[in-house]
Structure 1
Amino acid sequence: MRVEVVTAVHGAYARFLPDAWRSLRAQTHPDWHWLIQADGTAADVLGPLQDCGATTDSRVTLAVNGTREGPAVTRNIALGRASAPLIQNLDADDELEPTALRSLATALTAHPEAGFAVGPARDLLASGDLIEFPLSFPPGPIPRGALVDSWITEPHEYRLPIHPAGVMWRRELLLMAGGWTAIHNMEDTGLLMSASAMAPGIAIDTVTLRYRKHLAQRSTKTSSFEGGGEQITLIRNRAALLLAGPSWHPRYPQR
């Protein structure tokens, strides 16, 4: 089944694109396309893509915002360009394991009721060392709403049950959930919880993502933003309303 990989990138992260590209070139899944959306101008990101040869591959397309709009808006613009039944998020500074697309797409093919698929991730340190980020779920179906129930948001302890950066989505569910949410530093978490409240998922036991840890990450920056708790309340309230409604079901046959 065809997969489109969505990557939002701004100038400061463009230097990581060659590594992301090499991880895509190594994929064992035969049918994928990379939709890169520059949060800014083409000049901000084009150099590294040209240097690594990505711009000469017909599977790679670059589009630009022209302005800085942030990761949620930028991913959603890329989603608007997509037409494949399966959408894989790949942050510009991360890498996919070679079997990631094939393993996740195979799981979704085998489980047509699942709206998303996810595998374990590993943190990629500057030293090159990899640290496991295990799933909170065993391989197999993830019941509807289970991610919301397993999301730990206590002030002294915060933990997501799965790594949201490596999820493969059915495009239908992604559109019905509204894409990535307008939430500060929690764009993918907001989407993940809404989607889980709408549909079951599937977990696999194959590591799919290398999540790069580096000093330029927003999570490492000091911020004056004070609305974190309110955002969590908003996400949970929306998830509760979605859980009270009907479950999502795929409306169109997958090819």
Structure 2
Amino acid sequence: MSSLISIITPVYDPRPAFLSAAYDSLAEQVLPPGWAWEWIVQEDGESGIAERLLPGDDPRIRFARGRRGGVAITRNLGLSRAAGALVKNLDQDDVLTPGVLARDVEALADPAIGWVTSRALDLLPDGTTAGVGGEPGPGPIPRRTVVERWRANGHHLPVHPATLCLRRSLAVALGGWMAVPGSDDTGLLIAASTVVTGWFTGEPGLLYRRWPGQVSAGEAHSEPVERALRMRLISERADELAALFD
């Protein structure tokens, strides 16, 4: 396995302070000896805003632009450019906690583990944090556990999809982030967790920013008809994958 982890961040109309905070949290990571990271900053559009907001002299940042296609397509364009054996999502408004990349790398050193998630804390507008709750205990997560708990809990995940780190080969085999209008990270997490054992790290790995402008806080994201269609397709894909691997 190569000793590079690729962090993939789709960018569209970012808040400068939020994007800078995401970079700072990445720059402060300390990786195991021999490991390095690259940051794939993939813009959903052609404005070049990310290049103007982020340091142009950090060779670890790899900028790219593309025609507007939405967040899932933008993530997948980033995936196509990723050179690391491991890939990790980082949304443009979120913040990594110290040591999370090292913990992800350590968990994925076990060849039986295909993906890792960690505890997430909500980052509130006043700068305080709050626990999400409902996570499993730290350790391995057997295949199909995530989808079964997701279905039993009204399509609410037991682990946070924004914390996902997985083998690039697995992400590619599953088609990357799922091409649905929202919940694309849920689709990839459930697909990965259906075919291979994962790992949950109990230490917080992400500060998930809660703010009025986030897409998941908008009315369109929770519109019931579209949401039901997304959940149905994610669930059906999990069943078809399970049939192939059982």
Are the aligned partners of 2:155 and 2:231 in contact in 1 as well (CA < 8 Å)?
A: no
Distance 1:108 1:134 in 2: 24
Are the aligned partners of 2:45 and 2:68 in contact in 1 as well (CA < 8 Å)?
A: yes
Distance 1:117 1:34 in 2: 19
Distance 1:133 1:106 in 2: 24
Which 5+ residue runs of structure 2 have no aligned equivalent? Answer: none
Moved more, 222-231 or 188-197: 222-231
Distance 2:7 2:134 in 1: 22
TM-score under structure 2 length normalisation? 0.91
2:13 to 11, 35, 46: 11
> 1:113/1:135 Cα in 2 relative to 1: closer, same or farther (>3 Å)?
farther
1:38 to 37, 43, 67: 43
Give the corresponding residue for 1:77. 77
Are the aligned partners of 2:14 and 2:92 in contact in 1 as well (CA < 8 Å)?
A: no
Secondary structure, counterpart of 2:131 in structure 1: strand
Are the aligned partners of 2:50 and 2:63 in contact in 1 as well (CA < 8 Å)?
A: no
Give the corresponding residue for 1:234. 233
Q: How far is 1:92 from its partner?
A: 0.5
Give the corresponding residue for 2:59. 58
Give runs of aligned pairs for residues 94-243 of structure 1, distance below 5 A: 94-109=94-109, 111-134=110-133, 136-152=135-151, 157-223=154-220, 226-243=225-242
Q: How far is 1:221 from its partner?
A: 1.7
Q: How far is 1:58 from its partner?
A: 0.8
Give the corresponding residue for 2:28. 26
Secondary structure, counterpart of 1:206 in structure 2: strand
> 1:183/1:15 Cα in 2 relative to 1: closer, same or farther (>3 Å)?
same
Distance 1:130 1:107 in 2: 25
Q: For each residue in 1:113-169, what CA deviation from the matched residue of structure 2 results, as whole angstroms up to 9, or x when unmatched?
A: 111011101010110001112452211110011110010476xx5521110011111
Secondary structure, counterpart of 1:56 in structure 2: coil
Amino acid at match of 1:145: R
TM-score under structure 1 length normalisation? 0.88
Give the corresponding residue for 1:252. none
Distance 2:51 2:16 in 1: 8
> 1:5/1:211 Cα in 2 relative to 1: closer, same or farther (>3 Å)?
same
Q: Which runs of 4+ in 1 moved over 3 A?
A: 12-15
Give the corresponding residue for 1:251. none
RMSD: 1.7
Distance 2:90 2:27 in 1: 14
Are the aligned partners of 1:36 and 1:62 in contact in 2 as well (CA < 8 Å)?
A: yes
> 1:13/1:176 Cα in 2 relative to 1: closer, same or farther (>3 Å)?
farther
- Would you say how many aligned residue pairs link Structure 1 and Structure 2? 239
Distance 1:8 1:64 in 2: 10
Percentage of identical aligned residues: 35
Q: For each residue in 1:194-246, what CA deviation from the matched residue of structure 2 results, as whole angstroms up to 9, or x when unmatched?
A: 11111110111221111001111112222267321122111111101111112
Are the aligned partners of 1:55 and 1:61 in contact in 2 as well (CA < 8 Å)?
A: no
Distance 2:12 2:150 in 1: 29
Which 5+ residue runs of structure 1 have no aligned equivalent? Answer: 248-255
Q: Does residue 47 in structure 1 map to residue 49 in structure 2? A: no
